[in-house]
Structures are given as structure tokens and as C-alpha cells.
Amino acid sequence: MATLKINGETKDFDAPDDMPLLWVLRDVLGMTGTKYGCGIAQCGACTVHLDGQPVRSCLLPVGEVRDRAITTIEGVGATAAGAKVQKAWLDLEVIQCGYCQSGQIMSAAALLAATPNPDDADIDAAMAGNICRCGTYVRIRAAIKRAASEA
Ligand code: FES
Ligand code: FES
């Protein structure tokens, strides 16, 4: 039996150390908000936070993340930056099909937590690894700026 700290809660599970964190989240723990896109760290759909930093969970062996604080889309709304991002996403109706959006929100929340007033270059750098097949990039940028403007 292994243990992870996810969204402030302790979760016990059975899985081999080399299983990617994404599989543990979705298939073992039933936390399906984090999405599988490419499986090769190229699309950003599987983004979660590890000690506040955005990481791709599809290539991250679960054995390497014990004793780290993991935040997923199910819990990011409890953080100050995550709450602002989610509100801005709703206000500006960012989402189209939705598949990429968990990862987009996780990357945007990590950006705002580290850089409360990002400029376009900051946004480009933080969001470059999150692909949206529906092309919602203009609304994503606007929502990040809206979230940053919230007191
Ligand atoms: S599923 Fe992890 S980056 Fe695409
Ligand atoms: S909203 Fe459809 S892939 Fe991004």
C-alpha cells in the first residue's frame, strides 16, 4: 500500500512505483478531472501541480512523487490563484469541447501564483505546452488577464 497527498488529503492506493501519476489519479483513485491526451508530455492535458509547480503527470512515475504535495483540477479551486482562474474561465466562457481545459487551468493557476500580473511573454512561456484543438487560445489569454486583474 502506498500513500499520496492530493489536494490536502491523504490517499492510500495499490500501484507499482513505475505507474505514471496520471494512471494512479484516473484509473486507481477515480479522479478523472485530469485528462489523458498524448501520453508523451507534449499536450498538457494531464497537467497537475507538484509542490505548486505545473508538471505533466503522464510521464511522472508515482514512486517519484511520494511526500510531495499534489494538486489536481479537483482541488485547485481551493487555492487563491486557482479560484480566480476558474471564475475568469466561467466569466469569459473560455471552454469549447473542454478536453484540454483542466490542463489549461492548472498551468494558468500556477502562472498566476508565481507571477500575479503576467505580461504576454509570461503567458506565452507558461502556456506554450498546453495545446487546444478547439483553438480557445484568445479566450485563455483574456481569462488569465481577467484573473490577474481580480483583487
Ligand atoms: S497527456 Fe500528458 S502531456 Fe499529453
Ligand atoms: S477546448 Fe477543446 S481541445 Fe481545448
pLDDT score, position 20: 98
Q: Whole-angstrom Cα distance, residue 111 to residue 54?
A: 9
Which residue is closest in CA terms to ligand 2's atom 4? 132
Indicate whether 84 and 32 sit together in one domain.
no
Mean pLDDT of 17-27: 98
**DSSP calls for 126-151:** HHTT---TT--HHHHHHHHHHHHH--
- For residues 58 and 121, membership in a common domain is answered with no
Question: Which of 36, 71, 106 is the last residue in one of the domains?
Answer: 71
Residues with CB under 6 A from ligand 2: 95-101, 132-134, 136
Q: Is the pLDDT of residue 95 over 90?
A: yes
Q: Could you read off the pLDDT of 40-70 as tens digits, one per residue? A: 999 999 999 999 999 999 999 999 999 899 9
| Centroid of ligand 2 to alpha carbon of 140 (angstroms) | 11
Helix (H) or strand (E) holding 33, with range, is none
Best mutation site among 26, 35, 38 for ligand 1, i.e. most ligand atoms within 8 A of its Cβ? 38
pLDDT score recorded for residue 6 = 98
Atom of ligand 2 nearest to the CA of 135: 4
Based on the fold, state whether residues 138 and 92 are members of the same structural domain: yes
Question: Residue written as cell 511526500?
Answer: 67
Find the ligand nearest to 135 CA.
2
Report pLDDT for 1. Answer: 85
Is it the case that residue 13 has pLDDT exceeding 90? yes
69 phi and psi, to 5 degrees?
Answer: -90, 115
Cell numbers linked to 70: 499534489
Give residue 92's domain range.
Answer: 77-149
Split into its structural domains, the chain has a count of 2
Return the CATH number at 144.
1.10.150.120
Please check whether residues 38 and 93 belong to one and the same domain. no
Confidence at residue 151, expressed as pLDDT on a 0 to 100 scale: 64
The yes-or-no verdict on residue 113 having pLDDT over 80 is yes
